[in-house]
Amino acid sequence: MQSLANSTHLLFRRAEPAEYKVLTDISWRAKQIWPYPEEYFEIWREELTISPAYVAANPVYVAVQENRIAGYYALVHNPYYRQIGEVRVESGYWLEHIFVEPEVMYCGIGSGLLNHAVTICRSIPCTRLLVFVDPFARGFYDKIGAQFLYDSPSSIPGRTIPVYQINIPIE
């Protein structure tokens, strides 16, 4: 795989449903850099798989660098509180599936994706963005000034994940 890290130029655009395989591959590669047991990935199979229908139904954005997708995210609006098993999903806008190609992690692409999401949120308008954070990514969210809200049960029995809030400044 050719390195994407040489260029700092990023283009952000809506993902197309036909790109679902590329997005799914990025999800899996990014999640696999962390030392999770194999059985977690079986539980996450559905969560990490992006379908054409998901891309068509939600605002999914990609960061393109050197004509290749370097990362992506989705914004999902949950109009009401809901409980999924032990996981509570508050009403509001959620940042979902923010993933960066492992070879270009720590090159500013994650921050670029997040800045783009904030810009999109301002146009909605939305004053806060919620996110279930992988425990290994806590440092990123702390660094960008996101506010830790609480630990939530996850889809892995007996495991919790942090929930953060990103406040959207009004311009």
At position 118, the amino acid (one-letter code) is V
Closest Cα partner for 171 from 128, 119, 116? 119
Report the distance separating Cα 70 and Cα 117, nearest Å: 15
Pick the CATH number of 11-167 from 3.30.450.20, 3.40.50.720, 3.40.630.30, 3.20.20.70: 3.40.630.30
Res 88 pLDDT > 80? no
Contacts of 155 (CB under 8 A, 6+ apart): 43, 44, 47, 85, 87
Q: What is the pLDDT of residues 97-155, one digit of tens each?
A: 999 999 999 889 999 999 999 999 999 889 999 999 999 999 999 999 999 999 999 88
Dump pLDDT digits (tens) for 22-42: 999 999 999 999 999 999 999
pLDDT at 91 (0 to 100)? 83
Q: What is the C-alpha to C-alpha distance for residues 3 and 7, in angstroms, rounded to an integer?
A: 9
CB 27 within 8 A of CB 50: yes
Q: In the chain, where are the structural domains located?
A: 11-167
Cα separation of the two ends of the chain? 40
Specify whether the CB–CB gap between 160 and 151 falls below 8 A.
yes
In angstroms, what is the C-alpha Rg of the chain?
15
pLDDT value at position 8? 57
Assess whether pLDDT exceeds 90 at residue 161: yes
CB-based contacts of 75: which residues, under 8 Å, 6+ apart? 58, 59, 61, 93, 94, 95, 96, 117, 120, 121, 129
